Amino acid sequence: MAPLTVLGIESSCDETAASLVRGEVPQEGAPKAEILSSVVYDQMDLHALYGGVVPEIAARAHAEKIDRAVEEALRKAGLTLNEVDALAVTAGPGLIGGLIAGVLAAQGMALGAGKPLVAVNHLEGHALTARLTDGAAYPYLSLLVSGGHCLLGIVDGPGAFTRLGASLDDAPGEAFDKTAKMLGLGHPGGPAVERAAQSGDPARFPMPRPLIGRPGCDFSFSGLKTAARMARDSLAGAPSEQDKADLCAAFQAAAAEHLARQSVKAMKLFAQRRPAAAPALAISGGVAANGVVRAHLLEACAAQGFAFHAAPLSLCGDNGAMIAWVGLERLAAGFPPSLAARPRARWPLDEQAAPLVGAGRKGAKA
């Protein structure tokens, strides 16, 4: 099959993104891909005042900026819409206003230009990033850690994901954000916690080890967040800079250990269930940008004999390239285009798995 060029559009939470990706998926061997352009407009300044994403503000900002993001992505790639083979757009899960803005814009462009449109699950975008960047071979284990989601499972192909674990309460990024807020470190909290933790002692404040001794590969982050708050409240007076650094370091180390411990269990399951596969773990999502999280998972992979694919920092957070790539893979695999797809605020990646209490509770994206 000849290489395809796909325009990807993402607007499920607070990034308006567009990207052009060219690539091919041969019958044998690794996929080949090139990111021709990737434009991401974040909305941090719009939401900073409120300490979190305000859905109505996000939806309006997407509607205002999608056309500009697409124009810029096409210009940077040196292409016109007519030269693109297909469009792909995030149709869920996420904040419904942003999804509607993205899907309507993409439908208009696809209809106008007479191009096929693929409706993409945002979580699949994160889960297939290792194919786009590293040419990872199916099947592999995927750990998706972000502000809205925490999902661990086996990726066998586009549309073929088996969940092994998910968060029973907060998503990891949400716990980072709440810890940062509680210490007055600002939003988004993940990078702020990581920065503060650099000069902290992770051993000063003891942290629980969530779900230790329990079977399965699920996650829980609300206990860590609460432990951090209780440690802060145990201090005499307002926390000093050193107190904050030590608290951040303790929380971050415990979160990273928890992610690694549950991932090791999933690696063992993967080895049992896919004995013929070359073992590999891919991590993606905003929290995958965290250096301590990456280091813990790298170490766990080395100990278990797994290859490790960490999404590049530019593609950990939300972006259009991962959406374009899923569109490309789906077209290459013969899935029909879906011009009439409807936005879906909730859309589990593994539709066969039983719903988890709390999973996707906030309806935000991954």
- Identify residues 122-151 at the interface with Zn ion (CB under 5 A): 146
- Angle of helix 222-233 versus helix 172-182 axis, rounded to 10: 10
Residue 262's binding partner out of ligand KG4, Zn ion, none, with CB under 5 to 8 Å set by partner kind: none
Residue 110 CB-half CA count within 13 A = 25
Q: Does residue 366 bind Zn ion (CB under 5 A)?
A: yes
* Binding range to Zn ion, per CB under 5 A, among 28-36, 74-82, 227-235, 315-323: 315-323
Q: Quote the CA–CA distance of 349 and 122 in Å, as a whole number.
A: 9
According to DSSP, the residues that pair with 140 across neighbouring strands are 155
Binds Zn ion by CB under 5 A, chosen from 163, 244, 296, 365: 365
Burial of 88 by CB count in 10 Å (0-12 exposed, 13-18 middle, 19+ buried)?
buried
Binds Zn ion by CB under 5 A, chosen from 7, 318, 337, 356: 318
DSSP characters over 132-161: HHH-PPSSEEEEEE-SS-EEEEEEEETTEE
Nearer to ligand KG4, 197 or 211 (CB): 197
Q: Quote the CA–CA distance of 19 and 319 in Å, as a whole number.
A: 8
Paired tokens of 322: 């991962």
Nearer to Zn ion, 145 or 266 (CB): 145
Nearer to ligand KG4, 181 or 274 (CB): 181
Q: Single out the residue of 314, 311, 328, 323 nearest to residue 10, CA to CA.
A: 323
* Binding range to Zn ion, per CB under 5 A, among 60-68, 80-88, 231-239, 311-319: 311-319
Q: Does residue 10 bind Zn ion (CB under 5 A)?
A: no
What does the binding site for ligand KG4 look like in residue numbers (CB under 6 A)?
13, 146-148, 173, 176-177, 188-191, 194, 285-287, 289-290, 317-318, 364-366
Name the residue type at position 136. Answer: A
Give the rounded distance of the alpha carbon of 128 from its chain centre: 10
Nearer to ligand KG4, 86 or 150 (CB): 150
Q: Please, are residues 145 and 259 in contact by the beta-carbon 8 Å criterion?
A: yes
Number of residues counted as binding Zn ion (CB under 5 A): 4
In the complex, least distance from residue 236 CB atom to ligand KG4, rounded to whole angstroms: 29
Nearer to ligand KG4, 163 or 187 (CB): 187
In the complex, least distance from residue 241 CB atom to ligand KG4, rounded to whole angstroms: 19
Backbone angles phi, psi at 116, to 5 degrees: -70, 150
In the complex, least distance from residue 177 CB atom to ligand KG4, rounded to whole angstroms: 5
In the complex, least distance from residue 69 CB atom to Zn ion, rounded to whole angstroms: 16
Q: Does residue 323 bind Zn ion (CB under 5 A)?
A: no
Q: Please, are residues 158 and 123 in contact by the beta-carbon 8 Å criterion?
A: no
- Residues forming contacts to Zn ion in the complex (CB under 5 A) are 146, 318, 365-366
